Structure 1
Amino acid sequence: MHSNAAGPRPGGTGHAERVFRVQRAFTDLGGSVHGPGELAERSGLDDSTVFRILQSGVYQGVFERVGRGRYRLGTGTAHLSLHALAHAPGDAAHTALEELREATGGGLVLLYMLAPFSGAHRQCIDMAVGDSDLAELGLSTREVLTVTRSLRTGASGRTILAYLPDAIQERVLAEPVPDGAGPGVYRDNDALLRSLADIRDQGHATGYQECMPGWNSCAAPVLWHDSIVGSTLLLKPADVIPEPPLAVIEATKTTAAKLSSYSSAPFPTP
């Protein structure tokens, strides 16, 4: 029987704290399905406590039983994430994108979020493009919505991928490079993995014609309670920024930090 294998943790020892430990153990371990024993060891709780939490969580939809003695996070967890997104200050988020575009002298600013129902992909949910016509700029709807779905493609995709568990990274690296990706896309997985380490170390990514020819980019992570939910992306023509200047990088990181702060924003009152 496991007992405090992960060492003492702050935050008290109440029932809610123990439930959160078990939930966090799933994400820390990676993969999708785990048994009570390994969850107990990771969470620092004894086997019987973890088993009771799992049994109760199955009833509440927080966990799902898979086969005999194996569990995974349930759809109730996704429901909580969607509820949080529904109460995020959307107008303020769009304003932040517009401010980034203005502060960096134009270009295109996009907000990507980790897509909840399409596997390990990202989805563009908002953008600030001024009076620009994407077609006139050489960008098609297919490129924005299809090529850029892959987390292995582009600064914004790699930024999200850098903060995901190893198991998801391995799944993404096993995917082919999307058709239509730019000449700067990472095709070598070892080089791609090294870029992810750099992103975590520096807090941003730069991209050179990765998603589309002729466009360079800078991206920074949007983190809610230390969990990656998306990334902010600034795109400019490659001849305008052959190398993203420090001011552009810092402005992008500042905007991503502002969006990250919305995780602690108060819920609206009736």
Structure 2
Amino acid sequence: MGNSTAAPGSPTSADASASASGTAVTTPGPSGRKNGRQTARSGSSAGTRASGSSHAERVFLVQTAFAELGGSAHGPGEIAEFTGLDDSVVYRILQSGIYQRIFERVDRGLYRLRTSAAQLAFTALDHRLDGTVTQTVLQELRTATDGGLAFLYMVAPFSGAQRQCVDMAVGDSDLAELGMTPRDVLSVTRSLRTGASGRTILAYLPEVLQQRVLAEPVPDQAGPGVYRDNDALAASLAEVRDLGYALGYEECMAGWNSCAAPIMWDGSIMGAVLLLKLKSVMPVAPENVIEATKEAAAELSRYGAAGPDAGQA
């Protein structure tokens, strides 16, 4: 729950966006016209690679487009432009996907992923982590940081671009003693634009989701160190990616500083480990706190990305 990888007011610079060029596609569209599309699209993994050479690859490209474009629904033309595929190819994939319960038509010419796609995700995440593993890692982090409060935040599955606390190691502390109320938990700590853990998760999300979060208002209950300027917030995200962790200074709550590091599974951001200490005790996070937090996140990343046998080894 904290603000920048540097103390408030320290300058940071955002990463420069790199653009890539793609291959023009000139096959006929559904109306018989020729389409000259560029497959390149800055900041997207689907658009920066060549069109699929097999039907299966094209199907996966279309599915990925829905995830990376964001928004509620998209038309075949928009998906075709994003993927570099021909309109007619995209249209046929969408129609086939309706019968296979992968896509659904929500309006004239607009489609979206069905909720069955979420069930696939839940199946993929099943058994990745259990409470015993996370408690052990968080307790070790608490010990390594001389009694720091350790939290595990994960991307909230039903809220789009938010987070939720799923485990913690706080000893005998009552969260009420920290000045946290249920309202705080539901409003401040779920936002990805507040706190070291929120910004850590936000730094690795697709740009379309980052822009959605940047458009959100700052929670009223946020701490005095919260980023209110979107340019400064965006610059802090670049710094998080460069350093691999975030430091926070009274972002969510007055009087508390923090350190957070990302949990990555198969190259995707899944959550963050957060270490919280009183500002009077930790005015600036020392190196041992940063390293212990990074190691806790790395361990949970290893567990989550490993196969069943490797994770139990």
Q: Which one has the bigger helix percentage?
A: 1
Deviation of 1:146 after TM superposition, in Å, equals 3.1
Moved more, 135-144 or 71-80: 135-144
Superposition TM-score, scaled by structure 2 size: 0.75
The percentage of counterpart residues that share the same residue type is 65
- Answer yes or no: is 1:78 the counterpart of 2:78: no
Listed as ranges, the matches of 1:55-134 within 5 Å are 55-90=95-130, 91-134=132-175
One-letter identity of the residue aligned with 1:36 = P
Moved more, 230-239 or 139-148: 139-148
Listed as ranges, the matches of 1:29-48 within 5 Å are 29-48=69-88
Aligned twin of 2:59: 19
Residue segments in structure 2 that go unaligned for 5+ positions in a row: 1-26, 28-34, 40-46
Moved more, 22-31 or 193-202: 22-31
Distance in 2 (alpha carbons) for counterparts of 1:174 and 1:200: 21
Of 231, 244, 261, which aligns to 1:220? 261
- Answer yes or no: is 1:232 the counterpart of 2:273: yes
1:46-80 Cα shifts (integer Å, max 9, x gaps): 44433332223223332222322222222122222
Q: Is the 8 A contact 1:96 1:255 kept in 2?
A: yes
Distance in 2 (alpha carbons) for counterparts of 1:20 and 1:207: 38
SS at match of 2:202: helix
Superposition TM-score, scaled by structure 1 size: 0.86
Aligned twin of 1:50: 90
Residues 95 and 55 of structure 1, relative CA distance in 2, 3 Å threshold: farther
Listed as ranges, the matches of 1:131-142 within 5 Å are 131-142=172-183
Distance in 2 (alpha carbons) for counterparts of 1:159 and 1:114: 11
1:108-128 Cα shifts (integer Å, max 9, x gaps): 111111212234221111111
Aligned twin of 1:211: 252
Q: Is the 8 A contact 1:181 1:211 kept in 2?
A: yes
Higher relative contact order (CA 8 A, sep 6+): 2
Larger radius of gyration between Structure 1 and Structure 2: 2
RMSD, aligned α-carbons = 2.6
Residue segments in structure 1 that go unaligned for 5+ positions in a row: none
